[in-house]
Amino acid sequence: MRVLVAMSGGVDSSVAAARLVAEGHEVVGATLKLWGGPQSSGCCSVADVDDARRVAQQLGIPHHVFNLTEDFERDVVDPYVVAHAEGRTPNPCIECNRHIKFERLLERARRLGFDRLATGHHAQVRERGGRFALLRGADAAKDQSYVLSMLGQSQLGAIVLPVGTMTKTQVRAEAASLGLRTAAKPDSQDVCFIHDGEGRDGFLSSRLELHGGEVVDDASGVPLGAVDAVELVTVGQRRGMPAGSTRRYAVAVDVRARRVRVADAARAVVDEVSLVPGTVTWVDRPLADGDEAVAQASAHGRPARCIVRVGGGGGGSGEPVAGTGEDRPVVVCRFHTPQRPVAPGQTLAFYDAADPDAVRGAGIVAGCRRLG
């Protein structure tokens, strides 16, 4: 089998490539050049490209660099900036997976005659009766099924995740036993296009105008303080919010009014999350109205049981569900117990109620219904 391996320069993709070589496949490594600006970490820095190239040399496989900077700017960076300007908090890693790795790169792999595309993600793909299931990785602490939750049957049938059955300790041990230069390399934690020296604040201030705003109590409307930039406040955020005699959390961000509403922990809870029409995708069979599920709102967030309400539309495997209008979200998640608010722009992933390791689908959060 001919396999194109997305080699980020990290230990996971290095071991993924090594395992495929050991299995006897025809393996080619590819590193993506995504960002042309300054960066201090990520998966496409000069150092990462060099690490990937040298690991490929160690494994005796060809290595290529694909320049997808224009695609990355258009589909990941620009929407990230626009979202913040509108008071939303996007997940750029998910959008990179959606548009770049499992769309552009997968298309290129198919065009070049490869049978599969492999990555170093900690998740698992299993075939069940001719259909494909996406499952959590074996290492709960490193599980990346959440950031792959938008994948559908067409992608899952074309990808390989060789380290999904391994723990991170096992990955590093295998890399060390093979003498791979990435064996002890730290994991990348930050957004790849934001430099440590500037941070999110510096990056966004160079691309959009930031505005100061007032902070008011959600219940009384009484002013409590101010923030330097409403565009940088995330729903659910506590840091930087006026505390007083109690901790307060941001529960609403209104960029136009330049106002942030805050509430204490007892009032900063929600029982329902609505998803943006047209953003919902399903791994395979869509959840039906009234189905039980388990929802997760961040990569390592606490799963919460819920009931899914579907207000119309359909949608197949991995395809956006048809919307019914901007004021009527197609899919709503109703929690069994109150949860912390989820920021608009984030991704909510659904897992199977009977098998919480199995991803069912995902969508982008439009808003929450607060109990306070």
Average pLDDT value for residue range 314-333:
50
Question: Which pLDDT belongs to residue 328?
Answer: 45
Cα distance between residue 140 and residue 346, in whole Å? 21
Cα distance between residue 244 and residue 94, in whole Å? 36
Contact 306, 332 (CB under 8 A): no
If you classify domain 2-120+162-177 with CATH, what class do you get?
alpha beta
Contact 106, 155 (CB under 8 A): yes
Within 157-246, residue ranges assigned H as helices are 168-177, 199-205
Contact 361, 273 (CB under 8 A): no
Minimal CA–CA distance to 116: which of 271, 33, 5? 5
Cα distance between residue 115 and residue 107, in whole Å? 11
Question: Which pLDDT belongs to residue 321?
Answer: 39
Asked if 44 is an active-site residue, the reply is no
Under DSSP, the state recorded for 81 is H
**Looking at 186-200, 243-257, 277-291, 339-353, which range is the least confident one?**
186-200
- The sheet that has 248-254: what strands, in order across it? 223-227, 213-217, 259-264, 248-254
CB atoms within 10 A of CB 217: 17
Catalytic residue among 44, 93, 96, 333: 96
Under DSSP, the state recorded for 298 is S
CATH number of 270-370: 2.40.30.10
Cα distance between residue 4 and residue 31, in whole Å? 10
Which carries the bigger pLDDT value, residue 64 or residue 129?
Answer: 64
Q: Where do the structural domains in the chain lie, given as residue ranges?
A: 2-120+162-177, 209-264, 270-370
Question: Which pLDDT belongs to residue 318?
Answer: 43
Helix 46-59 × helix 11-22 angle, to 10°: 20
Catalytic residue among 192, 306, 333, 368: 192
Which carries the bigger pLDDT value, residue 269 or residue 199?
Answer: 269
Which carries the bigger pLDDT value, residue 143 or residue 45?
Answer: 143
Cα distance between the two ends of the chain: 56
> What is the pTM for the complete model shown?
0.91
**pLDDT of 127 above 70:** yes
Q: Do the domains 270-370 and 2-120+162-177 match in fold?
A: no
Buried (b) or exposed (e) across 273-285, using 16+ Cβ within 10 A? Answer: bbbbbbbbbbbbe
Question: Which pLDDT belongs to residue 269?
Answer: 95
CATH number of 209-264: 2.30.30
Cα distance between residue 94 and residue 80, in whole Å? 11
Which tens digits make up the pLDDT trace of 113-122?
999 999 999 9
- Which H helix or E strand runs over 121? none
Cα distance between residue 282 and residue 295, in whole Å? 14
**pLDDT of 202 above 80:** yes
Cα distance between residue 338 and residue 188, in whole Å? 33
Under DSSP, the state recorded for 21 is H
Question: Which pLDDT belongs to residue 313?
Answer: 42
Contact 358, 352 (CB under 8 A): yes
